[in-house]
Structure 1
Amino acid sequence: MAYDWTALGREIRNSRIAQGMTQDDLAAAARVSRASLQNLERGAVRTRVPTSLRAVTDALGWAPTAALSILQPDADIKVAPQPQEPTSAFDLPLRVQQELHDGPLLDSTVIDLSDSGARMVVVVKGKSDATPEELRQALLAWVKAQQVLDTLGESAAG
């Protein structure tokens, strides 16, 4: 059975635009190259389903079978490409959500920026494939950075 790459590309583009994302935003959220995303949106005919497709549809919040239902409209799969309900209580950009999801949590802090209550939230994450030594080095770098951030918070609040 032939896949309808043009229809899939149109749906990806429409969904991206409806969510207020640029190609760069979606490519970053999906962790694929912009060229891969452009090929998908353009409906470039392929001999196999690219691995980037799942990353893009996940970043758009589509149901797992949505892309296949578009690629094979005559198949017995009837799932519309509607974004799934967010799993987070926070309305964060997709890029931030992805960063929060990937890698081990090393530390976090909240820095008061002013008497008006403005705050900065810092979350420190390690690489997902980091060795124990790399994580130790990352924590040491964070301790130095935290000292600088603390002085910024003190001067902003003071």
Structure 2
Amino acid sequence: MEKDWKRLGNFVRAARSARGLNQDELAELAGVSRATLQVIERGVGFTRIPASVFRLENTFDWGPGVVQDILAGGDPPTGERSSSASQPPMRERAFADGMPLRIAQELTEGEVVDTAVLDLSREGSGSSLVMILKRDDAENIDPEQLRRDLEVWKRAKRALHGITTESDDQ
């Protein structure tokens, strides 16, 4: 059966517009290039369905298999999937994509209180340690508890900074 790439392109464009996103914003959310998104929206055909199309399917919260249905002449769901109530919002999911599930869930729940980035690089390495202090109940926090949490946070940052600045021969 022939795949209807123009039909998919029209649905992608309509879903993007309905969410008030421009092509750059959707491309960033989905983790695809703007050029790829433009090709998909124009309805240019592919010999096989590229991974970028499935990233868009996930970003729109269409559910697995919807892209194949659209290409075969079907319609995407008119609302979000029933399981989407437990899913973080689209922008947060895009940020957490590719991370282990536990980390992705932690990053998309609660409120960030502070962050730190420590350079781990030795010559030839571009690694860094990213630390995030977050609270699940930031709205109802006791100021004294927040002060204690921030003290622990400061000690942890100092300790980790000390480790990252130690020489390799210790």
Q: TM-score scaled to structure 1, two decimals? A: 0.59
What stretches of structure 1 move > 4 A for 4+ residues in a row? 122-126, 139-142
Name 2:129's counterpart in structure 1.
138
- The 5 A counterparts of 1:90-105 are 92=89, 94-103=90-99, 105=103
Tell me the alpha carbon deviations over residues 43-75 of structure 1, each in whole angstroms, 9 at most, x when there is no partner.
Answer: 0022221111101111011121211111112xx
Query: Which letter maps to 2:93?
Result: Q
1:84 maps to 2:75:
no
CA radius of gyration, larger in = 2
- The 5 A counterparts of 1:5-24 are 5-24=5-24
Query: Which letter maps to 1:138?
Result: L
1:121 maps to 2:112:
yes
**What CA distance in whole angstroms lies between the structure 1 residues aligned with 2:96 and 2:5?**
32
| Structure 1: gaps spanning 5 or more residues | 109-119, 127-133, 148-158
Aligned-pair Cα RMSD in Å: 3.6
Aligned sequence identity (%): 31
Judge conservation of contact 1:7–1:43 (CA < 8 Å) in 2. Answer: yes
Judge conservation of contact 1:25–1:95 (CA < 8 Å) in 2. Answer: no
**What CA distance in whole angstroms lies between the structure 2 residues aligned with 1:79 and 1:47?**
21
Question: What's the offset of the Cα at 1:80?
Answer: 2.9
Name 2:69's counterpart in structure 1.
69
Question: What's the offset of the Cα at 1:103?
Answer: 2.7
Query: Which letter maps to 1:98?
Result: A
Q: TM-score scaled to structure 2, two decimals? A: 0.55
Change beyond 3 A, Cα 1:88–1:48 = same
Change beyond 3 A, Cα 1:124–1:29 = farther
| Structure 2: gaps spanning 5 or more residues | 118-124, 134-152, 155-170
Question: What's the offset of the Cα at 1:29?
Answer: 1.4
Q: How many residues align?
A: 119
Question: What's the offset of the Cα at 1:42?
Answer: 0.6
* Partner SS state of residue 129, structure 2: helix
Judge conservation of contact 1:31–1:55 (CA < 8 Å) in 2. Answer: yes
**What CA distance in whole angstroms lies between the structure 2 residues aligned with 1:27 and 1:18?**
15
Change beyond 3 A, Cα 1:123–1:54 = farther
* Partner SS state of residue 6, structure 2: helix
